[in-house]
A = this chain, B = another copy of it.
């Protein structure tokens, strides 16, 4: 039985499961060697590359889960949206969606649009054995923000203006994006993904009132669709201290938390029906070994208060991270048994 799946169901585990958002990819030299200048979205459509890149961090770090190497905008590309990932920038949309008529550009996704996903996930689950593969998709709000802004944004001004001024257009757009995300996850689950994570990376720019009115119903639809297929659902965003409860009640099993809210406090905000995931600040991995060990122990200690804890970072691995530090964090997390809280207080084994 996978410790990650057990923890996500709030069952007892002997060690805390650990994986890292963005564990596959840019922090690993073997990834750069393999990718060798290919455009990101081309890599994400090539089964052998997806499979190999997804496996690299599992081999290297001995994490408790693999996460499919892909990108949240891939499904949009697949249904004909003009989108590229520009290095150092992020997704850039050729013709942003800002009017009711634009919404029709978003046709439904089917499994035939993403045969490489089915192929890669099937091969991955074979190779991974007992280690679960996490499927993933971008949540409607975060996808909508890229489509409306035309790329990454500092203020999400067009997105919020559309949301408030044209709620009909907004809900039509997010409804389609929810269907696309749900189908993208269904394909992954059908091919063997045993857990899913819904990334609403930028939801933290919203107030709770905005989140509940304009976002939660659409994310809930995606999460419900996965729930019907019986897989645990992780729901994650950055800077979501004010949104943890509605992100949980949207239909999550596990709520991802960034480093701003301690896990004991996060668990208090969402109550006993949810596990938590997080929340070491990725920037801390650039600090000294002593600091890393002490911070790992603190996160574990605070995570013990929750009814289930999956150790992770509070956001993705930074590209400049020394992969050796990630390996060491996995060893450290696994070195603490979940039964002995005392050693965490003393950080004794943390410095070993």
Contact = CB atoms under 8 A, between A and B. Distances in A.
A282 B164 contact: no
Contact of A261 (B156, B158, B242, B288): B242
26 contacts: A155-B315, A155-B318, A157-B283, A158-B286, A159-B283, A160-B281, A160-B283, A160-B284, A160-B287, A161-B283, A161-B284, A161-B286, A161-B287, A164-B287, A164-B291, A164-B295, A165-B288, A165-B291, A207-B259, A207-B260, A207-B262, A208-B262, A209-B262, A239-B239, A239-B260, A241-B242
A337 interface: no
Given A164-B288, A242-B241, A155 B282 contact: yes
B165 A287 contact: yes
A320 interface: yes
A269 to B, nearest CB: 11
Contacts of A204: 239, 260
Contact of A157 (B207, B259, B282): B282
A307 to B, nearest CB: 22
Contacts of A164: 284, 287-288, 291, 295
A291 B259 CA distance: 33
B157 A320 contact: yes
Of the listed residues A259, A283, A295, A320, the one surrounded by the most CB atoms of chain B closer than 10 A to its CB is A283
Contacts of A157: 282-283, 286, 318, 320
| Stoichiometry, copies per complex | 2
A6 to B, nearest CB: 28
A265 to B, nearest CB: 8
Contacts of A158: 286
A208 B260 CA distance: 7
A158 B283 CA distance: 7
A262 to B, nearest CB: 7
A284 B342 CA distance: 49
A181 B286 CA distance: 29
B260 A155 contact: no
A98 to B, nearest CB: 12
A184 to B, nearest CB: 26
Contacts of A283: 155-157, 159-161
Contacts of A295: 164
Given A155-B318, A241-B241, A207 B287 contact: no
A159 to B, nearest CB: 8
A276 B149 CA distance: 31
Nearest to A209: B262
B287 A260 contact: no
Contacts of A282: 155, 157
A161 to B, nearest CB: 4
Nearest to A211: B260
A261 to B, nearest CB: 6
A156 B159 CA distance: 26
Interface string A333-351: 0000000000000000000
A260 B210 CA distance: 10
